[in-house]
């Protein structure tokens, strides 16, 4: 059964173009939309309409501070934009440890409202796994947070290390934070090189099990200066040796205010006419008391990294209307996509 008639698609496309005009977007020309075939029917697991709406502050109109995008004309509100990333950090864990980011509690997630919006990402590794400096830098914190807080709560990170980095092309200092360590092997004031062992994974502080909490802060070593580590870590590579890509998205109302959506449906198709190879349920950054921060350049409120190159279908239902967009991920690149919800 084809639930998504081509005529309906044309109406939606026309509405999208109108929406761009109404918002005064000046980005032209619009990209070519991915060519036919007709979109797949919505999945039976399409998410329900979310119960809450925007509480996050409006998007900043300020100019990007970070490296600019490639000069490809594009319009992320009707299609997508392929841009260069600022992948300047190495993984803080090496093989044979788990070097992939835990997908169940990603940056900005509340894990279905049960936890604080996550200011970092988790690497689930055994206690004692070496923790490595993500870039050249120097140690500004090597201790615990029993008496000095690095979050609103004491003994939150447990044994932690904070490194300060001055990275090429980035005008502000960038900080990486390594939490819940079982062992600290660096001293305050010490210079470190990327990949140098600085401690070991543990479960100190507020941790339910052994893992590395990895956090990125830009400008200030401050709990509210966090950024999504996925936007900074060099992507892993696939079996073909090519680096993976990254999808960065804005899910906003027509005033540009971020909206919350608990489970965007993102499906991967190596070949658009072939079967789905993977599916992801992506939560937008949660609108809670301690909201996480968006990238200065992208102003995103969702992101999904380490994606093999290919076609991706993003779909969701909002007020009984199915939205969907086909986009592409390219090796080592950022795909920017914007959904403006009326």
Report residue 11 CA to chain centroid gap: 31
| Shortest Å, Cβ 123 to Zn ion | 9
85-144 residues near Zn ion, rule: CB under 5 A:
120, 122
Question: Cβ-closest residue to Zn ion?
Answer: 213
Does 213 bind Zn ion (CB under 5 A)? Our answer is: yes
239-268 residues near Zn ion, rule: CB under 5 A:
none
- Per-residue binding string, Zn ion, 272-311, x by CB under 5 A, is ----------------------------------------
| Shortest Å, Cβ 213 to Zn ion | 3
Count interface residues toward Zn ion (CB under 5 A): 3
Closest-CA residue to 269 (of 211, 215, 310, 214)? 310
Q: Whose Cβ is closer to Zn ion: residue 122's or residue 295's? A: 122
Q: Whose Cβ is closer to Zn ion: residue 120's or residue 199's? A: 120
Q: Whose Cβ is closer to Zn ion: residue 120's or residue 243's? A: 120
164-203 residues near Zn ion, rule: CB under 5 A:
none
* β-strand pairing of 81-83 with 334-341: antiparallel
| Shortest Å, Cβ 270 to Zn ion | 32
| Shortest Å, Cβ 100 to Zn ion | 15
Q: Whose Cβ is closer to Zn ion: residue 77's or residue 204's? A: 204
Residues contributing to the site for Zn ion (CB under 5 A) = 120, 122, 213
């Amino acid at each position: 059964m084809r639930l998504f008639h081509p005529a309906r698609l044309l109406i939606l496309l026309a509405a999208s173009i109108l929406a761009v005009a109404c918002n005064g977007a000046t980005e032209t020309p619009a990209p070519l939309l991915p060519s036919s075939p007709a979109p797949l029917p919505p999945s039976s697991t399409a998410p329900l309409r979310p119960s809450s709406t925007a509480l996050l502050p409006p998007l900043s109109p300020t100019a990007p501070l970070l490296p600019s995008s490639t000069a490809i004309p594009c319009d992320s509100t009707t299609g997508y934009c392929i841009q260069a990333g600022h992948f300047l950090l190495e993984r803080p864990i090496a093989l044979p440890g788990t070097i992939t980011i835990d997908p169940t509690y990603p940056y900005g997630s509340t894990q279905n409202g049960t936890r604080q919006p996550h200011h970092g990402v988790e690497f689930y590794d055994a206690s004692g796994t070496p923790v490595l400096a993500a870039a050249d830098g120097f140690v500004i914190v090597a201790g615990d947070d029993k008496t000095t807080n690095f979050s609103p709560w004491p003994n939150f990170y447990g044994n932690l290390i904070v490194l300060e980095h001055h990275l090429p092309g980035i005008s502000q200092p960038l900080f990486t934070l390594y939490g819940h360590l079982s062992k600290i092997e660096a001293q305050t004031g010490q210079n470190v090189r990327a990949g140098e062992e600085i401690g070991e994974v543990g479960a100190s502080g507020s941790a339910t099990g052994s893992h590395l909490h990895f956090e990125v802060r830009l400008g200030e070593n401050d709990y509210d200066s966090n950024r999504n580590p996925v936007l900074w870590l060099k992507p892993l590579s696939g079996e073909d040796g090519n680096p993976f890509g990254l999808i960065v998205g804005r899910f906003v109302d027509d005033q540009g205010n971020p909206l919350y959506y608990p489970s965007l449906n993102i499906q991967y198709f190596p070949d658009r006419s072939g079967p789905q190879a993977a599916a992801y349920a992506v939560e937008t950054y949660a609108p809670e008391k301690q909201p996480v921060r968006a990238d200065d350049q992208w102003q995103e409120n969702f992101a999904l990294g380490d994606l093999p190159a290919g076609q991706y279908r993003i779909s969701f239902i909002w007020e009984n209307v199915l939205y969907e967009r086909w986009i592409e991920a390219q090796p080592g690149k950022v795909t920017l996509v914007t959904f403006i919800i009326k």
